[in-house]
Each structure stands twice: as structure tokens, then as C-alpha cells.
Structure 1
Amino acid sequence: MSMPADLLIIGAGPFGLSLAAHARMLGLETVVFGQPMGFWKEHMPRGMILRSACDWHLDADNRLTIEAFLQARGQTPDDVEPLSRDLYLDYAEWFRHQAGIEPLFGTVRSLERRTDGFAAVLDDGAELTARNVAVAVGFSNFPQVPPELADMIPAGRRSHTCDMVDFAALKGKRCLIVGGRQSAFEWAALLADEGAAQVHVSHRHDSPAFAPSDWSWVNPLVDAMADDPGWFRSLSGTEQDALARRLWIEGRSKVEPWLEPRVMRPNVALWPRTALASCRETGDGLAVTLDDGRTLLVDHVILATGYKVEIGRVPFLAGLLGDLAVRDGFPVLDDHFQTSIPGLFITSMPATRDFGPFFAFTISVRTSACLIGQALAAEK
């Protein structure tokens, strides 16, 4: 393009799409780069059910809501909750079309600073230029594989949940899932649905309760941050820890009750308060010994070990890392998600250190869009 755009958004998942729609409403020339909902399509399994409800929609301007999408289909929230991954993808596609967002596809090889902003260099050598860039890549670069498990389990015998989303190859197989949160239990249910012969679930803590989570207190906190973006960072360490603990209780010590009949089956075994002690190849699979002395014979291990932000793992940021302020692996952000590099914004999971744990969830996309939009509109 001959003149730089106002904003280049790298990432077309929930945070990127929400920001793109809001930026367009503000009259900003916006370019979006990435496959729409690519992580959701490629790294979340069919049949997955979400923990969010219809109020976790994408539109910061409250027009293109999930309720509006359902109304266009002749449905109500009662017809579709709990939401499935596939329905949410349908909503995101509807949202994208209604908002007039047409992302460009390909891979960003590098991001470079220029006198008038930034240039994203693509894998084919082409360049996209913009005065501002928002990085909204979500979870894709941050799967966590604990080193002790990587050393213990042969590479060909283990997968992280983000890479194990097609369960057909595990039909009739014996599987061990390491982890005790919602994803571990949902993957156990999906494996059992697919016909796995045996599914073991090992986790260090007590097994979470099959109980509905109460998210009602989260929405007001996140929505209010659009007017008070420094609220979370102004809390004391003790207050932040208490908030994280409250979120942990709802999101980690509970799993959704609709999973219970799908998990509590004869071929699914839960091993709470255990960890892997050793693993060795045998003629009949992997012999995995837990620290309680029990040995499980399995064919494959799935690591439901979550995600950990290390912003240096985002490949296209490599050339900017020398100027990017980073703390504990997270980019240091101002009240509008702007980094130490003027004009470079980073949102979604990498924002959780400065904005709170909510920003790992789609409930935060609207607040993120509003705050970045405020900074861009003020500049223009």
C-alpha cells in the first residue's frame, strides 16, 4: 500500500477481530493479518464445549453480539448454551462478515520499525506498513511443556493438548493425560467419546469438583477497566493474589458439571495427588510410574499443562526485542496495551501480567479493543 495504514493487527482470533471492528468504527484505516480464528480451528477439537456464555461476545460497540447472531438464526441463548466451539466459530465468522473484516493470509516473518511506523515483512518478501501495530496472537506461541516431562517422555509418545485435537488415531489406545483442569477433563471426555480403550488422568492436586462456575463477578470488573485501566496494577501484591485465587477457584478447582457423565466411565481413571516419577518404553507401550508407586501401561501421553508467556517466543518480534521492555517473560504495557516501543501494542494472554488473569479469556476482548482504540483515536 502506498500510505501506511493507521493500524495493522497481527492475529485474527477473538482479540484481533474485536479490535478490528472497533477500530473501523472509529474511522481508522485497519489491516488485519492472519487466518480468522486459526488457533480455534486448528488447535481446539471438534466437540469441544466452552465455559463462556452468550454475554462473552466480541463487539466493543455492543451491536454484533452473540444474541444478535442467534436472533438472525431464530435461536435464543437457551437453545445453545453451553456454547460449542463450532457455534462460536460460526458466530465469529458472522461477526467478521458483518463488520466487513477481510484479513490477509500468510506468515509475518519479521516486524521492523520505520520512520513513519512499522513494516511487517511477509514470508514472500512483501511488506505491509502501518503507523501502529497491535499484536493479538493469543496462545499460539506459548504452550507449556515442563522440562522434566519433556526429558522423561519420548517425543513421539507425547503431545500437548493444543496439538492433540484429532482423536481418531487414539481409538482403541491407552492414554494418560497429565493435568487436572478443564482441558484435561474435556480431553478425557472426548477421548472416551472417540473410543479410547483407557484414559488415565494424573494431577498433583485434588480432583476438581463437577460444579458450575460463577463468572458473574468477573464481567463488571473487566468492563469497568475500560474507564480505569490501571485498576489491576494499582492493587497490592496481596490483593492481586487474592483475585487470582478467586479466579482459580472458579476456573481451576471446578470443571463444568456436564462433563461428569462423560468422564465418570469405567474406562476413565482419575489419579489425584500424583505426579509422574518415571517413564520407560516396553514392548507393549510406555510404562509410566506415578509417585505413589502405581505403574500405568499406556500408548500415548497428553500434556494438559497449559500455557506460559515468553514474549521472545513470538518469532516476528525477534528484531524488536532489544528495545522491548520485558518483565518475567511478559511485555511491559501502559494503560492502553502499548509497549515500550511507541505504536506497538500487545494484547491477549501476554497482557495478563499488567491487566490481570482475565485477559487470557475472551471476556476481555471488548475492554482490550476499547483501550487500544482510545490511544489510537487520541493520536489521530
Structure 2
Amino acid sequence: MSLTDTVIIGAGPYGSSLAAHLRARGVDHQILGRPMLAWRNYMPPGMLLRSEAFASNLHAPRSGFTVEDYCRQKGIPYEPMGMALPLEMFVDYALWFQANLVGEIQPVDVVNLRRVDGHFQLALSDGRSLIARKVVIALGLKGFAQTPPALQGLPERFVSHSERYGNLGWARDKDVAIVGGGQSALGLSALLHELGARPHILMREADVVWYQRPQAARSILSKLKGPDAGLGRGWRSLLLSECPGLFHLLDNAWRERIMEKSYGASGAWWLHDRVVDKVKISFRSEVRSASIDNDRVVLRVLTGNQEVSVSADHVIAATGFKTDMRQHAFLSKDIADEISVNGGLPELTSNYETQIPGLYVIGPASAHSFGPVMRFVYGTRHASPCVARHIAGSLKVGATQRVWSAGEAPMPERTGE
């Protein structure tokens, strides 16, 4: 059985950034997960990041490891704003960051996490077990997909969620209905169209909000009226980008109101010309029911004041995510119940710690406590140094430089596995 001070579950942007900070502080830790798994396996090739290049940095404990630094080393032209950042380039950058700052990443899954005598015991997919004083859940949105009731229960051959893609080659020359009107729906529609599919977007909203291409060279007055920020232009975006601590001080009602009204159905500037006049969009549309007829999906859609039928070979639900920690199958029931205090949302301290001492949550699942910035890579600049500082400060003097001896370790209970 291996013993360590801290385990990080997840090897994406948040887990990697935190590992880099813990390593710099000399905190004994292990990071578990396949490096950048969701980005590599569940996002379509050719996708561009919604965030601007300057806002897509993993957070390092020292200078020299931004997207700009990576581009300089690779001889790639770089612009902080207005640069289309391909998925493949971002993944390569993140792997470069990991190779230089993170060290060993164990490509295993956690199959069970439970508390034993005030510590944490983790069962791993390779049959090993770990005991840790502290655990940080640094996972993305996978597993939290939200599919409309009308589409639930249909065979996966006909209906899927946008979280699953992935290569889109299967859709060539097919009719694909996309339910949703945000960046995910618009981005998938552009890629599908360019691959030779026939996408049809069904969105509730009356129109698409298109963000304008950012301009690096703006007057001082223009910047004062609408400063550039990690989440977009404007003072509201600046506050949400840079002040997650203030968001944390708000009560639940205010947090929910801000989350509901922030960064809804909209499209990045680089999508406009790839979608408008190329992809069919039905506005004010709501899917009421779905069935399979003659090997196709038939949707009954309320559009305006009339109900129409939409037929497709496949339907993609680009309908977002809803965080519910109880959906993590690896969490023991007592842990899941204790940290899921608001419909599955974790209530976190100012240090990202759950109600269970020593258990932290960072990344998109922390957005309810710290705001929409945590749904983006930009949030690593806040979460990573904060959690690393808190973990390092809470460990006993001298415990950060060594692994527990066998005599110090808690005796694990028998699991029956």
C-alpha cells in the first residue's frame, strides 16, 4: 500500500496546475489520471478553444510556461487576442507543461474513495491502494451531462450528448439534429457542416449572441469602458474573472442568479462565418418528444406556436452540464452525501475545501462556490496557488518532505475486493 500526503484526482488543466504548485512547495503528492484525457478523446479534432490565447494558460508556480512561451519555443506565431487556438495545439501545450513542471502522472482511475480513521483510502483501477491525508478532486464536466427528458431512453445509436466527441467522421453525409444553442452546439454544427454532414440546430433562444473579434490595439478610453478580461470584455467579466473570492461571499440565491445569466447561449467570433448562412437554425424551438421511425429519429418540436416534425439520422444534445457530485461512482456514499449539500453541488470554503476536512474540489465543479471562471482554464490561476498554499500550510512541520513510514500509516479496513 502506498502512502502520500496528497492525492490529486484528474490530470487535466486544474490537476496539472495544482501538481506543479505542490511540487514547487515540496509537498509529497501523487496525481492520478490519463493526461488531458477528456481534451484528447472527447473533443472533436479541429475544434478551436473559445477562450483567447492569453486566457488559456495553465497556471505555473514560475514564469516561462504560458501558451506564449510554448509558441515561442515551437516557432508558432502568437497573439494574445484574436488568435484561433486549435484543440491540438492546446493539448500539446498542456503536455509540454506537464513534462516540465508536473513530473510523473499515474494513468489510473480511482474506483473507490472512502475515509478510514480520519484519512482517505483510494482503490485504483490497477488493483493498488493509496492512503492519503488530503485528496483534491480536479475533474472536468464528464459525467455531468444534462440530456432533455424527451431524448432520454433512446438508443445511443440515435442520440448522444456533446460531451462524447470525439471524431465526427461517422456523420459524413448524414442529417444531424443538434439540440442547444451555445458554443458547443454552434461549434459542432460548423465542424459537421465542413465534414459533409447536414446539421440542423434547434435552440430555445430567439437569436444567437455572437462575440466580436477582440482588438488588442484599442484606445485607453475604449479599454476603460470595456476592459479585456479572461472571460471576455467588460467590467462584469473582469470581476468574475479576477474576483472569485468576492463571488464566494455571496449567498446561494445571488450565486445561482449570476450563474444562470452568465455566458449563456453565444458563439465565438471565429464561428460566425462558419455557421451563418451555412447551417440551418430553428429559433424558439423546444423538443417535446422523440421516437424512432424507419431507422431515423423523429422529433416533435414546438416552434413558435406550432408543432413540427424534424427527422434526422442522429441527434446530439448540446444541452450543457449540471454538477452533481453524487454522480461520481468512485465516491463512497458517506462522502458523496456529506459534500453534496445543494442538489449535488459541493459547498466549499474559501480554500476550496469541502465540509469533509482534507477533501478539496477544484475545476468546473467548484463554479457554484467561485463563479463561472472555474468553468474555464483561466480559473487555474486562482484555484491552484490557493489550494497548494492551504495544503502546504496545514501539513505538520516536516511532513511535506517525506512519505509516511509504515508505523505512521492508518490501518486500512478490509474492503472485500
Q: TM-score, normalised by structure 1?
A: 0.90
CA contact (8 A) 2:114 2:332 kept: no
Query: Structure 1 pair 116/253, CA: closer, same or farther in 2 (3 Å)?
Result: closer
CA contact (8 A) 1:219 1:363 kept: no
- Deviation larger for 73-82 or 50-59: 73-82
Give the C-alpha shift of residue 212 in structure 1: 2.4
2:166 counterpart residue number: 165
Query: Structure 1 pair 341/238, CA: closer, same or farther in 2 (3 Å)?
Result: closer
**Aligned partner (choices 392, 402, 406) of residue 377 of structure 1:** 392
Give the C-alpha shift of residue 193 in structure 1: 0.9
1:290 counterpart residue number: 301
1:132 counterpart residue number: 134
Distance of 1:277 and 1:11 partners within structure 2:
37
Corresponding residue SS for 1:162: helix
* % same residue: 31
Corresponding residue SS for 1:78: coil
2:339 counterpart residue number: 324
1:142 counterpart residue number: 144
Query: Structure 1 pair 61/100, CA: closer, same or farther in 2 (3 Å)?
Result: closer
CA contact (8 A) 1:10 1:134 kept: yes
Q: TM-score, normalised by structure 2?
A: 0.82
Corresponding residue SS for 2:262: helix
Unaligned runs of 5+ in 2: 214-227, 396-417
CA contact (8 A) 1:10 1:34 kept: yes
**Aligned partner (choices 85, 108, 111) of residue 109 of structure 1:** 111
The answer to whether structure 1 residue 5 and structure 2 residue 4 are counterparts is yes
Q: CA offsets, 1:199-251, max 9 Å, x none?
A: 110011122133327614445644444xxx3x213235675466446632xxx
Query: Structure 1 pair 134/72, CA: closer, same or farther in 2 (3 Å)?
Result: same
Give the C-alpha shift of residue 192 in structure 1: 0.6
1:300 counterpart residue number: 314
Give the C-alpha shift of residue 336 in structure 1: 0.7
Distance of 1:219 and 1:101 partners within structure 2:
33
**Aligned partner (choices 251, 260, 285) of residue 272 of structure 2:** 260
Distance of 1:238 and 1:189 partners within structure 2:
36
Give the C-alpha shift of residue 55 in structure 1: 2.1
The answer to whether structure 1 residue 365 and structure 2 residue 370 are counterparts is no
Give the C-alpha shift of residue 120 in structure 1: 1.2
Query: Structure 1 pair 245/121, CA: closer, same or farther in 2 (3 Å)?
Result: closer
Give the C-alpha shift of residue 347 in structure 1: 1.2
1:208 counterpart residue number: 208
Corresponding residue SS for 1:19: helix
Corresponding residue SS for 2:31: strand
Distance of 1:132 and 1:305 partners within structure 2:
34
Distance of 1:60 and 1:220 partners within structure 2:
22
Corresponding residue SS for 1:103: coil
Give the C-alpha shift of residue 69 in structure 1: 1.1
Corresponding residue SS for 1:50: coil
Q: How many residues align?
A: 369
Distance of 1:245 and 1:112 partners within structure 2:
33
Distance of 1:206 and 1:181 partners within structure 2:
12
Unaligned runs of 5+ in 1: none
